[in-house]
A = this chain, B = another copy of it.
Amino acid sequence: MKPLSECSVAVIGLGLMGASLCIDLKKRNLCREVRGVTRNFSTILRAFHEDAVDLATTDLNSGVAGADVVILSTPVRAVVKMLETLSPILWPGTVVMDMGSTKAEICAAMDRLPPGIQPIGGHPMTGKETAGYASAEGGLYEGAPWVLTPLPRTSKETIELASELAEAIGAFPITLEPVRHDRLVAAISHLPFLLASALVHTVSDSGEEDAAVWELAAGGFRDTSRVAASDTQMFLDILVTNREAVLEQLDTLGGHLQELRTLLADNDEDSLRSKLSCSQNTRAEWQQKKGSFATPAGGRNGPPPVNAQ
């Protein structure tokens, strides 16, 4: 298999994640050629103008023809559909990666690709609440965990190439099984999103009675609700393709919230202090551990994780 530097890499979907990847690959000269495939013609012009790609097209066939690595960067269910579309037009030997936020359904679809194709699932754990090409930026992946979910058919060389790509843009590859990945991100990513949405709805209800609530809202609300501004379609795909794990996390959280409510309603200060103190310590320790690693680009994403296998 070619080293990354000799590969033509085609990124399908030039939103936040895909375009940021193109920018890094191109500006750092990490591969032979960077191609972007998007449905949006104005994005093509912009990507060219900003030198984010060598070649951009709305035509899928010409975008992937001859590419050594094809990276799908669309919402999860669009990845699943795109894999079906790509199936007959990919060259044997092509490495197919993706950047979707849930992995079980995508990896199952990857396994339906023709035998000559080398698929590997992936999920860079970074992003921001704004979506689209306009939000893309170089360095987005610096310091981020990048989960790789190889299939049984995925070769060692493909895993190495995917790891090389992740590391080349400053991310830290972690290899996990798809189902394990999905269970873990239900807790630390999908649950926070639902919480943030519920919080915004609750504050909106307050705002109906007294609009001053929006003027007082400061750092606590800002941070706790930030991910609620994330792209709805992206998260809808995530939730629907990770339903059981998300429901389980919601129920666990509901239990903790109910416990906090009961302690407060019963004025059981000792138990309330103990429960709050426990989460304070846990959160502070996590932050400290995270902060104790140096990150290459100012620490957007925290520590390089150790391999979780």
CB-defined contacts of A277 to chain B, threshold 8 Å = 232
Compute how far the CA of A123 lies from the CA of B284 in the bound complex, rounded to whole angstroms.
25
Whether A252 lies near B185 (C-beta < 8 A) is: no
Whether B229 lies near A280 (C-beta < 8 A) is: yes
Nearest-CB distance from A171 to chain B (Å)?
A: 11
Nearest-CB distance from A247 to chain B (Å)?
A: 6
CB-defined contacts of A246 to chain B, threshold 8 Å = 264
CB-defined contacts of A104 to chain B, threshold 8 Å = none
The one of B192, B222, B235 in contact with A276, judged by C-beta atoms closer than 8 angstroms, is B235
Q: Is A189 an interface residue (CB 8 A)?
A: yes
Whether B219 lies near A127 (C-beta < 8 A) is: yes
Nearest-CB distance from A105 to chain B (Å)?
A: 14
Compute how far the CA of A287 lies from the CA of B282 in the bound complex, rounded to whole angstroms.
29
Q: Is A126 an interface residue (CB 8 A)?
A: yes
Would you give 8 A-B contacts (Cβ < 8 Å), ordered by A?
A125-B218, A147-B216, A188-B206, A188-B218, A192-B223, A197-B279, A201-B253, A232-B280
Q: A128-B219, A219-B300, A254-B254 are in contact. List 10 more A-B contacts (CB 8 A).
A: A180-B210, A184-B216, A192-B224, A194-B260, A202-B252, A204-B282, A217-B286, A228-B282, A254-B257, A254-B261
